[in-house]
Amino acid sequence: VLDIPACHRLVFSVLVYHSALDICTYVLVGMASVVAQRAPRSKRGLLELAGTIECSTGRPALVYIMYGCYCGLGGQGWPRDRADWCCHKHDCCYDDAEIAGCETKIDQYQWTCIDMVPDCGSLKDRCERILCQCDQEVAKCLGKAPFTGKYALWPDFLCGYEHPTCNIY
């Protein structure tokens, strides 16, 4: 058995449980926390989502990258706690946005953070309004939900395959 630092074990577990696309997304969203601190407006797609989460929770969005079964890219199984349910609902919101023709991962919109509340202002573009509302709702939801450490870095295989449908919202 190799005795490697905890960081290397973490990276190894990420590689084992997630595809290369997931890892690239994790890096992009992780960078969003840095971008969100420097420029509270004019971010793109996933960067805007990360910024709104940081605004509402006070935590870097990176802590939600592999949280539970629905926070982060994709989702499967049954949500583990209130925060995970927030992410499930957000996935459903993004599904509706994509049906409406919006590009959930790349469309940009303008927003501000006022007293830990993401504010969409008066967006003229339909997709900008839809995406900002989705991101605003998940950010507020995560801000109210407890963060349960045991669900951080939760492996997908523990999520199962039975899942709630979006028509519950």
Whether 163 maps to a domain, the answer reads no
Helix (H, G, I), strand (E, B) or coil at 109: strand
Indicate which CATH number applies to the domain containing 138: 1.20.90.10
Is residue 84 a known part of a binding site? Answer: no
Whether 29 maps to a domain, the answer reads yes
Helix (H, G, I), strand (E, B) or coil at 113: strand
Confidence of residue 105 (pLDDT cuts 50, 70, 90): confident
Whether 40 maps to a domain, the answer reads yes
User: Whole-prediction pTM value?
Assistant: 0.74
What confidence score (pLDDT) does residue 12 get? 38
Confidence of residue 33 (pLDDT cuts 50, 70, 90): very low
- Please check whether residue 102 is in contact with residue 147, taking contact to mean a CB–CB distance below 8 angstroms: no
Is residue 70 a known part of a binding site? Answer: yes
Give the integer Cα–Cα distance in Å for 31 and 29: 5
Q: Which domain holds residue 33?
A: 6-145
Strand partners, 113: 118
Whether 158 maps to a domain, the answer reads no
Is residue 72 a known part of a binding site? Answer: yes
AA identity, residue 32: A
pLDDT at position 16 over 50: no
Active-site residue set: 90, 135
pLDDT digits (tens, 9 = 90+) for 76-86: 999 999 999 99
Whether 155 maps to a domain, the answer reads no
Long-range pairs of 165-168 with CB within 8 A, sequence gap ≥ 24: 166/91, 166/92, 166/95, 166/96
pLDDT digits (tens, 9 = 90+) for 37-54: 333 333 357 899 999 999
pLDDT digits (tens, 9 = 90+) for 65-77: 999 999 998 899 9
Position with higher pLDDT, 167 vs 25? 167
Whether 168 maps to a domain, the answer reads no
What confidence score (pLDDT) does residue 18 get? 40
Give the integer Cα–Cα distance in Å for 125 and 37: 25
127 by Cβ neighbours in 10 Å (0-12 / 13-18 / 19+) ranks as middle
Is residue 30 a known part of a binding site? Answer: no
Whether 102 maps to a domain, the answer reads yes
Average pLDDT over residues 87-116: 96
Our count of domains for the chain comes to: 1
pLDDT at position 35 over 70: no
Tokens of 134: 């989705």
Pairing between β-strand 112-114 and β-strand 43-44 as defined by DSSP bridges: unpaired
Q: Mean pLDDT for the chain?
A: 81
% residues pLDDT > 90 (the chain) = 70
Rounded to 10 deg, the angle between the 126-144 and 82-99 helix axes is 170
Tokens of 51: 């910024």
